[in-house]
Amino acid sequence: MIGPDLVLLLAIISAAVGCSVLTWALMPLLARYALARPNARSSHKIPTPQGAGIAIITATLIVTTFALGSSAPALLALMPLFAAAIVIGIVGAADDIRQIPVLPRFALQALCVGAVVFTMPADQQIIQALPLWLERVVLLIGGLWFVNLVNFMDGLDWMTVAEGVPVTFALVVFGLFGALSQPSMLLAAALGGALLGFAPFNRPGSAKVFLGDVGSLPIGLLLGWCLLQLALQGFIAAALLLPLYYLADSTLTLLRRMLRREPFWLAHRSHFYQKATDNGFSVREVVGMVCLTNLALAVLAGASIALKSIAADCMLLALGGAIVVTLLMRFAHRRA
């Protein structure tokens, strides 16, 4: 009988290999129908195919399905999530090829996130003191924001890899210590492996293909679902610490643009990580610092799970916030 550790390792390797092969096979098609041409808001200089997210999501869902093949109830419970990821990916693909107006796009995203949130079992609740309907509405709004912020933050080569790989692999480690269910662990392992398989095609300076909305939107949905499962186990601080850099950069940028009365729903180059490249940092330096920050946040999240203390959670969240603010301030100023 194959042990759980070996199953996770096989899931990571299978997803990485499957994503790499599928990305390579899709390249000619993407170059023909989904070419991202540079503009004033772009970080790339030459037309580059986009849409490799198709390979990431396909590899992730297939590997997770096979890994859970012997557990029909667990697989059945994931069907609303998988269906929503496919639909939201189709919406992203359509937007990659021909831009969809903001309101229809947002409405379709809300339907996908709502399908996941409102099909959760009634006994799954983070804060028992809240009415269930109120928590589900908050989760819907938070899920919509998380799906979109992953899309917003996918503006540099390797950026989504630098975020997704540390977070997913941290979730796998936490699961091995009992903080996460097996289906969530396997999904995180497959997603992390698929992102590793995508990474060689998206190297800074020589990227052959981009993720596209077809990838960033469902990645946000799947990653958000895994973090939600961690919070449902009672580890709310850990679920906040893992994506804290993404949450801070996107939320502060959104608030700043709203205060300036800018059309915040339009594409822009106002994120801290984008300003960093304008301030003299190379793309590799930016994603490297983001990755190291995420690794530090993963360590703090692990400490939160191990200590199981409200006082410790507050201290660790404050420390994580200080680490993230330090990075944002560095990005906001010109490199010495």
pLDDT of residue 31: 86
Q: Nearest CA to 233 among 119, 78, 124, 117?
A: 124
* Residue 71 within a domain: yes
The one-letter amino acid code at 192 reads: G
* Residue 171 within a domain: yes
Contact indicator for 15, 191 with CB cutoff of 8 Å:
yes
pLDDT of 267 > 90? The answer is no
Per-residue confidence band for 66, with pLDDT thresholds at 50, 70 and 90: very high
Contact indicator for 179, 24 with CB cutoff of 8 Å:
no
Q: State the average pLDDT over residues 222-230.
A: 97
Identify the weakest region by mean pLDDT among 61-65, 101-105, 164-168, 179-183: 101-105
pLDDT of residue 258: 85
pLDDT of 41 > 60? The answer is no
* Residue 303 within a domain: no
Nearest-angstrom CA–CA distance, 199 and 331:
23
* Residue 100 within a domain: yes
Instruction: Determine the structural domain holding residue 196 and report its residue range.
Output: 4-236
pLDDT of 23 > 70? The answer is yes
* Residue 254 within a domain: no
Percentage above 70 pLDDT, the chain:
95
Give how many domains the chain has, as a whole number: 1
Whose tokens are 């799947």? That residue is: 222
CA dihedral over 63, 66, 70, 76, signed as positive or negative = positive
pLDDT tens sequence across 81-103: 999 999 999 999 998 888 888 88
Contact indicator for 328, 272 with CB cutoff of 8 Å:
yes
Nearest-angstrom CA–CA distance, 126 and 107:
26
* Residue 310 within a domain: no
Identify the weakest region by mean pLDDT among 39-53, 84-98, 219-233, 318-332: 39-53
Per-residue confidence band for 42, with pLDDT thresholds at 50, 70 and 90: low
pLDDT of 291 > 90? The answer is yes
* Residue 12 within a domain: yes
State the distance between the two ends of the chain, measured CA to CA, in whole angstroms. 56
Nearest-angstrom CA–CA distance, 189 and 172:
6
pLDDT of 107 > 60? The answer is yes
CA dihedral over 10, 199, 96, 92, signed as positive or negative = positive
pLDDT of 36 > 80? The answer is no
Q: What is the mean pLDDT of the chain?
A: 92
pLDDT of residue 150: 93
pLDDT of 183 > 90? The answer is yes
Nearest-angstrom CA–CA distance, 53 and 218:
8
